[in-house]
Amino acid sequence: MAKQLSGAGLRGQVAGKTALSTVGISGSGLTYRGYDIKDLANKCQFEEVAHLILKGHLPNKTELADYKTLLKGQRGLPQALKEVLERIPKDAHPMDVLRTGCSVLGNLETEESFDAQHTVTDRMLACFPSIICYWYRFSHDGERIDVETDDDSIGGHFLHMLHGKKPENLHEQVMHVSLILYAEHEFNASTFTARVCASTLSDMHSCVTGAIGSLRGPLHGGANEAAMDMIEQFSSPEDAEKQMMGKLERKEKIMGFGHAVYSDSDPRNDIIKQWSKKLSEQVGDKNLYAISERCEEVMWREKKLFCNADFFHASAYNFMGIPTKLFTPIFVMSRLTGWAAHVMEQRADNRIIRPSAEYTGEEPRDVPAIEAR
């Protein structure tokens, strides 16, 4: 008989091995291949961290330059994919757009063998920002934008396409940090989805498409959008506290707080909160950041719940002029690195993931004749 698992959602259960990251050691902390997330966010660009996660080591200057050149050369989109994106309506959820874009790309540029897994992944990393921005600008502005920019970074490329101009240095720097913070997080729901798919020996595009579907949910990647929708409703820190207390009294779920693994704090929040403050000062914000801080204070005081990575990402993205509906696609642009690395890791030592279930249904019984039902 299979061992019964305690608790809902498999929390606390070891479901496999990974050399990619550690999450929540001693209640907090996050490392990518042994490097602390704070150190990476302070000293690296996102492309360096993508190289680390996907290829196993931090690049030197030559390797980084070569990797950036490689990614820059793969930002363009096939005409057939552009035609599909132009047929997706304006009111579609952008995560559905990315899910469809990834699937179509898999038809046009199929991974014929696992030997091509790095090539396929680099291509997706380069063109996912192009996919979401091409659709957004066409559906919302009626423009067929040029997606082959000369921006040095993936984050800069995204902002350039979205706003139609090169981003400010501060904004590009914040994008580096944000993408680093979201890049990898062990066996979260979307990553586990990718690994389950990979364990069947499916192709990379299918694994990533499935992961996008998992990330779409508000209990996973959609939390930053939900957080922004909430804090936009508050007119002041005082109003925020009043309404937050009301939500708590009504036992409403408040997004952006607490975590399935971290017990004391989310190390990613401490980092992005600092950048959100810098952005608020740059734009002359007198309210939104203060509202966010008051929400944080109320939740800790009343429930001992801390902000997770999503909460201050909401205000940071807002200060950079990024529409709320595009928050979670940015998550995809980053977490693709972790998903793909986990797929590669699963393939390297594979056994199909097929857990057992605890049956809670009827006892064995006979099928009555149709006349007796």
Set 36, 152, 220, 270: catalytic member:
220
In angstroms, the Cα distances linking 281 to 170, 233, 355 are 12, 21, 50
152 is catalytic: no
Set 51, 157, 160, 259: catalytic member:
259
Report how far residue 328's alpha carbon sits from residue 310's, in angstroms, rounded to the nearest whole number.
Answer: 10
**Phi-psi group of 284: left, alpha or beta (phi > 0 → left; psi -120 to 50 → alpha; rest → beta):** left
310 is catalytic: yes
Q: How many Cβ atoms from other residues are within 10 Å of residue 74's Cβ? A: 15
Phi and psi of 265, rounded to 5°? -165, 160
Set 160, 310, 313, 342: catalytic member:
310
Report how far residue 92's alpha carbon sits from residue 129's, in angstroms, rounded to the nearest whole number.
Answer: 17
| Terminal-residue alpha carbon distance, the chain | 33
Q: Token pair of 127, please?
A: 């063109």
Are residues 328 and 94 in contact, defined by beta-carbon separation less than 8 angstroms? Answer: yes
Secondary structure (DSSP) of 272-296: HHHHHHHHHHHHT-SSHHHHHHHHH
91 is catalytic: no
Which residues are marked as active site?
Answer: 220, 259, 310
